[in-house]
Amino acid sequence: MRILLAEDDDLLGSGLRAGLMQHGFEVDWVRDGVMAERELRSQQHQAAVLDLGLPRLDGTEVLQRIRQAHIKLPILVLTARDTIADRVAGLNMGADDYVVKPVDLVELAARLNALIRRSHGHAEQHIQVGNIILDPMAKTVSQDQQLVHLSHREFDVLHCLMLQAGRVLSRAQLEQHLYSWGHEVESNAVEVHIHHLRRKLGSQVIETVRGVGYVMNKAAASS
């Protein structure tokens, strides 16, 4: 899953980026509020971690502008402001969750996974489509209660498709969710991952909608 990190402290930002990448996230990192607002408006991410004390444009102002623009991207506020009043103010401005520094990376990853799941209508810790169950935190996939071994990219492609099962996603949309800045994407990368997933899960689980993209077939996943 591709997320945006908005944090101006170089040491903290580099640590958070490295830690979240170890938990399977693709992380785009910006260091000021102007850049954060621009990237949030692009809506190329599944969620965002937003520090409130950003230069050029305060994180609270970024949050207010994004919500006024009716952008529903899950946003987790990261801040040193730890009073109850500060937390309530952040939530009332449209934050979906609130974490106080110093941050535990395992908790942060778990909260981000929960926000992404809930934003797609999945309340449980795992995501299930038919007989296929995906656990975002454990990074495991099972089918008919048997573990299915997937590569990192295969897991990410399946994660995207399962979150939006029944909805067609184009190759460009999948690439947008899977790759952070600086990654050179081979032209057939998504097709290769889809091919491998079909071989491991069944040829009918992921359908090709010619000229449009790919869709998780709920009926086939249940058979």
CATH numeric code, 2-119: 3.40.50.2300
* CA 57/CA 8 separation, integer angstroms: 11
What is the reported pLDDT for 199? 96
| Mean pLDDT of successive 10-residue stretches along the chain, which has 223 residues | 95 96 94 96 93 92 94 91 72 87 92 92 87 93 95 93 93 83 72 95 93 86 59
Tell me the whole-structure pTM to 2 decimals.
0.80
What is the reported pLDDT for 217? 85
What is the reported pLDDT for 206? 95
CA angle 184, 33, 103 (to 5 degrees): 80
What is the reported pLDDT for 184? 64
Check if 2-119 and 127-221 are the same fold.
Answer: no
Ordered strands of the 47-51 beta sheet: 26-30, 2-6, 47-51, 75-79, 97-100
* CA 170/CA 41 separation, integer angstroms: 20
Domain ranges of the chain: 2-119, 127-221
Q: Which CATH architecture has domain 127-221?
A: Orthogonal Bundle (1.10)
What is the reported pLDDT for 183? 62
What is the reported pLDDT for 124? 80
Q: Give the DSSP per-residue string, 143-177.
A: ETTEE----HHHHHHHHHHHHTTTS-B-HHHHHHH
What sign has the CA pseudo-torsion 51, 56, 58, 59? negative
What is the reported pLDDT for 102? 87
